[in-house]
Amino acid sequence: MIRAARLAIAVVVLVAFAIPAVAEEIGLPRPVPPFNQAYTDGPDAWGDCPLGTAGCPDQVCTTGCLTTAFASVLAYHGVELTVDAQASCTGRTRTGMDPGILNDWLRAHGAYGRCAQDPIGSCCLVWGSLPAEIELAFHVNRSDVGINPVASVVIDHALRQGNPVIAGVHWGAFCHGSTTQSEDCHWVVLTERFGDTYTIIDPYNEDATSPYGVRTTLDAGVHGAYIIDRFVIVERVNTTLGPTESPASPSGDPSDSGSVASFVAFAAVLAAVAALIVLVTAAGNR
């Protein structure tokens, strides 16, 4: 009787640890291209390009994390843009998607505006002026220490649907040595739920020769452990995607991975309960 009870407890404990590991791994159907805002030394480097218009003194390498994050997500969604030689920072006509192309396109389309933290020029992204192929949904994380349960559910659902999440984050009490800015100090791309944290693409890589951002986790960002302030779900709304651009996973609906995980977890619970019943019944008949 005692031996059977111990075995039953062991089974339940094993399942209790296994279920979260299965249920909390939520990823996108394909990788998000990582870009480095500080890429200043290499072919078609964009880091030194001016960001914003109307005399904005900023550069992509210094304040272009949001533009760089959007370039990664737009590339993931298969959005390509063309900028002519006159509008291009490189002086050449370019087509595709990277932070340089997106920044040039935003500048040419008046997609930078004025904001309180930048008194000189138009340095801040105008959300409504992004390419029409995407749709944005804005959310707030109402927590100063981690991710609010409601925000976590919303983020997880977006990832299951195959939509990356761009998040404004801070670390510590203040950011960049500023005594005034304590929110949205940096922008990153959330790509996967991994246990109790999220895998991200950090757009800042101090290696100026690398065009690639840093793949890491939310609690181990380039600047430190990040706390999300607000986040934006980016969905592709154009229905004319080609076969290589489709956000669907090879097996169909991007939510299939979440459904499979839920089914596996549910089946594990049933198996554990059935095993417990059998063991207890057998012990009682002895």
What is the identity of the amino acid at 30?
R
pLDDT reported for residue 44: 95
- Dmax over CA atoms of the chain, in Å, equals 88
pLDDT at position 9 over 70: no
Give the burial class of 203: count Cβ atoms within 10 A of its Cβ; 0-12 exposed, 13-18 middle, 19 or more buried: buried
User: What residues contact 218, with CB distance under 8 A and at least 6 apart?
Assistant: 169, 188, 190, 197, 198, 199, 200, 225, 226, 228
Q: pLDDT tens digits for 91-103?
A: 999 999 999 999 9
Task: Tell me the average pLDDT across 147-175.
Answer: 93
Asked if CATH classification 2.160.20 holds for the domain at 30-247, the reply, yes or no, is no
Q: pLDDT tens digits for 17-38?
A: 444 444 468 999 999 999 999 9
Q: Give the residue extent of every domain in the chain.
A: 1-27+254-286, 30-247
Distance CA 274, CA 244 (A): 45
Handedness of CA 117, 118, 123, 128 (dihedral sign): positive
